[in-house]
Amino acid sequence: MATRRELQKLACLRLREAEALFNAGCYDGCAYLCGYVVELALKAAICARLDLDEYPEKRLEGKFKKHDFEDLKLLGGLERAFQTANPNLLANWSVASEWKEVRRYEPEGTYDKSAASEVLEAVRNYPDGVLAWLSSHW
């Protein structure tokens, strides 16, 4: 699996790709990739918290092979920090955390420009976006 640094780089790459898709009018793809931005950032935060060089996806009987943001937040030891986070971050988290990996099966047009923009901004907003907050923990 990827190292902590690779996960960080991939999160930033997926954000750039999501922005490119948004600018190209590919709103479904933009919203979908935003979920992977969050997932990769959470996994980098888990590595930081557990002092691991590499994400342990294949260890512990698949306990770390997850896409669920709430589970990943717990594994990263971020529950308490999240509970004391500011309301703007919490609002952004509520938008971003609606993502599920099975959305890859949703039909074209599930996200319009407005909906994709909401997800993208929830992830990339500075300083209260999900990626900015997670990057302070990775």
pLDDT band at 7 (very low <50, low <70, confident <90, very high): very high
- DSSP annotation of 102: G
8 Å CB contact between 47 and 80: no
According to the model, what pLDDT value does residue 61 have?
55
Domain 4-135 homologous superfamily, CATH: Nucleotidyltransferases  domain 2 (1.20.120.330)
Reported as a pLDDT band with limits 50, 70 and 90, residue 11 is very high
Identify the pLDDT of residue 3.
95
For residue 29, what are its two tokens?
A: 């793809």
**Residue 25 is which amino acid?**
G
Does residue 59 carry a pLDDT above 80?
Answer: no
Name which of 61-70, 81-90, 122-131 the model is least confident about.
61-70
Token pair, residue 130, equals: 């999900």
